[in-house]
A and B are shown apart, each in its own frame.
Chain A
């Protein structure tokens, strides 16, 4: 019943901006146009009956190399919880590789700040309007975004030292 309410609310109010519905193992989710994501989420938050006021998680998936990659390489996933109705909804949006950016939620939820920084750091999705979109988990010297599929898992971390200028780096001896 709750699911029907959410469905009528979203399709009635946003129409074409809701691209499709996806249900897997009983979990309901909706694909939303990338430009409309923030608008839809804020409407779900503000609605007095649905009241999805708890942002559980923001995460991203890289679909590079899969046959459905052309629909959009990156998928951003927003998990919202309604504490009042104890219901959960997942909103998804697909982004192409050359347009990997989306509106930030950091002004709407305190926890979005760090969650978005993590997605930026590990997956390289830009959040437009984020006040402090900096690395959070990886070191400054690491280039690239580790959770992207084209980032190899054999990457070697930079070595750190407080006196690197004093250290002589001996080139590898080809005879050993």
Chain B
């Protein structure tokens, strides 16, 4: 074990009062790393003049686990469970991005069965709602609306039940596979999804009753942490944080993947670029996601749930148990993985947080040379100082909530 060393952050002073040349006094305040409203382990170094934020410097890295480095020593199919653990609010979206990137590298996109694509879409939209429900609950509790948290987590339970139904796991589902899905959906799937489609719209109305026209909510969110469209683009914001400023960019529409172009849905955009606009965009997005889920369920094609690509995709289990060749393939893929031709691709998808992209560089072997995750929360957080500088310290809490970050994915 290494011997302990004294930890001294180099460029940031701890709580300090500084007198400037002009005679103005400012105080440095540490918000976090352990603070309930920072949604993880995030530290903000705020320089305050009274209650006004003069400057804000986010310090991150507390959850850095070196996922990108670890992936460089894992077989392609073994990397999948690690993607769940980055953004643990939307495991299936991360799975989807990774699978699509590897499928593109292997050039087997056309072999993916329609049923797998549609179930992927359905589950990704379920994941988006899941992510937004957690965001709504925690964002509201940050601003003092305690009961919202209980309501949204009650409804999130029903979504986690679906995760459990299809994959056996409630959070780190790893349900998608390179080439398709882990297994087909069970018998009760249709009934369970329809129950959600029936109940959730009323629940979303209920959230809106509690918040949208609530005067306290409006006063805490309208006009707070504004960011203009130009600044949002300059800051690289994606997801609802970008669309809240009126920029209509959604990867699902701009660069359709996994048959998204066959679904009919709207991309809501805000007008004012404040916390309230971002709130409205996400609430509308939940309704649109329900619409997509309904279409996916109604038109769910029959057929296989995983592609047939010998040497890359595991053969069906009955074959493995009865045929010699399938058993050999199974053994070879599990132990050696599969080789991916040399080259690199960038594949983005629209997750609940924004554009999450996978850049994979292959050198022709069975492990990736480099996996880069373009983290939406990381980039969105880097624009936080622009939103909060000049506003009150209590609005910082609203701003953090409104950009919907998850530190597991920022630090990776």
Contacts and interface: CB of A to CB of B under 8 A. Distances in A.
Interface in B3-50: 3-11
Given A54-B233, A136-B61, A160 B4 contact: yes
Interface of A: 24-25, 27, 53-57, 59, 61-63, 66, 75, 77, 79, 83, 86, 88, 90, 109-111, 113-115, 118, 122, 134-141, 146-147, 151, 153, 156-162, 164-165, 167, 169
Given A114-B379, A139-B61, A159-B5, A57 B359 contact: yes
B126 interface: no
A136 B411 CA distance: 9
14 contacts: A24-B345, A25-B104, A25-B345, A27-B346, A55-B236, A56-B355, A59-B374, A79-B374, A83-B249, A115-B236, A137-B411, A160-B7, A164-B3, A167-B4
B386 interface: yes
A162 B7 contact: yes
B257 interface: no
Contacts of B1: 156, 159
B73 A153 contact: yes
Contact of B3 (A110, A153, A159): A159
A137 B61 contact: yes
A158 B1 CA distance: 9
B238 to A, nearest CB: 8
Closest 5 CB pairs of A and B: A111-B236, A114-B382, A24-B343, A161-B4, A110-B235
Contacts of B236: 54-56, 109-111, 115
B5 A59 contact: no
Q: Which of A55, A156, A165 has the most CB of B within 10 A?
A: A55
Contacts of B255: 86, 88
A27 to B, nearest CB: 6
Interface string B61-98: 10010101110110000000000000000000000000
Q: Which of B247, B361, B412 has the most CB of A within 10 A?
A: B361
A156 B412 CA distance: 17
Contacts of B2: 156-159
B68 A110 contact: no
A57 B372 contact: yes
Contacts of B369: 61, 63, 66
B7 A141 contact: yes
Given A57-B359, A110-B383, A138 B4 contact: no
Contacts of A59: 359, 372, 374
Contacts of A156: 1-2
B386 A110 contact: yes
A75 B8 CA distance: 33
A56 B386 CA distance: 18
B374 A62 contact: no
Interface residues of B, number: 53
A138 B63 CA distance: 10
Contacts of A115: 236, 379
Contacts of B233: 53-54, 83
B363 A110 contact: no
Nearest to A139: B61
Given A25-B345, A77-B346, 20 more contacts: A24-B345, A56-B374, A59-B374, A66-B363, A79-B357, A90-B346, A110-B235, A110-B383, A111-B236, A114-B382, A134-B10, A134-B11, A139-B61, A141-B7, A146-B69, A153-B66, A153-B69, A156-B2, A159-B4, A162-B7
B4 A169 contact: yes
B359 A25 contact: no
B5 A137 contact: no
B73 to A, nearest CB: 6
Nearest to B411: A137
B343 A158 contact: no
B391 interface: no
Nearest to B58: A114
Given A56-B374, A66-B363, A137-B64, A111 B73 contact: no
A117 to B, nearest CB: 9
A6 B1 CA distance: 54
A158 B68 CA distance: 20
B193 interface: no
B113 interface: no
Contacts of B359: 57, 59, 77, 79
B357 A164 contact: no
Contacts of A137: 60-61, 64, 411-412
B329 to A, nearest CB: 25
A160 B5 CA distance: 6
Nearest to A83: B249
Nearest to B355: A56
A62 B10 CA distance: 28
A50 B6 CA distance: 52
Contacts of A63: 363, 369
A151 B10 CA distance: 23
B70 A27 contact: no
B30 to A, nearest CB: 15
Contacts of B254: 83, 86
B5 A111 contact: no
A54 B229 CA distance: 12
Nearest to B380: A111
A136 B105 contact: no
Contacts of B66: 146, 153
